Amino acid sequence: MWEPDTKKRCQTNEHHQQQQQQQQQQKPNNPTGPFLQCFELILPWLTPIELANISLTSKSLNQLSKSTTLRRSSDASRSFENLPIPFHNTIDDHPYAHFIYTPSQIFPSSSSSQPQRQSWGSLDFSSSASRLGVEPVSLVDELGHSVSGCDCERCDDEDPDGCPCFSEMDELDMANECGPSCGCGLECENRLTQRGVSLRLKIVRDGRKGWGLYADQFIEKAQFVCEYAGELLTTKEATNRQQMYDKLASDGRFSSALLVLREHLPSGKACMRINIDATRMGNVARFINHSCDGGNLVTKLVRSSGALVPRICFFASRDIKENEELAFSYGEVRLRSNGLQCFCGSSSCFGTLPSENT
Ligand SMILES: C[S@@+](CC[C@H](N)C(=O)[O-])C[C@H]1O[C@@H](n2cnc3c(N)ncnc32)[C@H](O)[C@@H]1O
Q: Name the DSSP letter for residue 337.
A: T
Instruction: Please write the tens of the pLDDT for every residue from 35-90.
Output: 777 888 999 999 999 999 999 999 999 999 999 999 999 999 999 999 999 999 99
Determine the distance separating the centroid of ligand 1 and the alpha carbon of 83, expressed in angstroms: 24
Q: How many Cα neighbours within 13 Å face the side chain of 290? A: 24
Determine the distance separating the centroid of ligand 1 and the alpha carbon of 123, expressed in angstroms: 31
Residue 170 has pLDDT above 70, yes or no: no
Determine the distance separating the centroid of ligand 1 and the alpha carbon of 178, expressed in angstroms: 33
Residue 28 has pLDDT above 60, yes or no: no
Beta strands in 47-200 (DSSP E): 87-88, 100-101, 175-177
Mean pLDDT of 146-164: 72
Position 258 scores a pLDDT of: 94
Residue 194 has pLDDT above 80, yes or no: yes
Position 133 scores a pLDDT of: 43
Mean pLDDT score of the chain: 82
Best of 201, 214, 253, 255 to mutate for ligand 1, by most ligand atoms within 8 A of CB?
Answer: 255
Give burial (CB, 10 Å; 0-12/13-18/19+) of 24. exposed
The minimum-distance atom of ligand 1 relative to the CA of 210 is 8
Cα→Cα distances 50→38, 78, 127, 135, Å: 16, 19, 21, 31
Which helix (H) or strand (E) covers residue 260, if one does? strand 258-264
Best of 99, 277, 290 to mutate for ligand 1, by most ligand atoms within 8 A of CB?
Answer: 290
Mean pLDDT of 100-110: 82
The minimum-distance atom of ligand 1 relative to the CA of 288 is 3
Instruction: Please write the tens of the pLDDT for every residue from 330-340.
Output: 987 665 556 78
| 47, amino acid identity | T
Q: In this predicted model, which residue has the larger pLDDT, 76 or 161?
A: 76
Residue 109 has pLDDT above 80, yes or no: no
The minimum-distance atom of ligand 1 relative to the CA of 343 is 20
* Phi, psi (deg, nearest 5) at residue 332: -75, 140
* Ligand 1 lining (C-beta closer than 6 Å): 97, 208-212, 255-257, 286-287, 289-290, 340, 342-344, 353
Determine the distance separating the centroid of ligand 1 and the alpha carbon of 167, expressed in angstroms: 37
Mean pLDDT of 312-317: 96
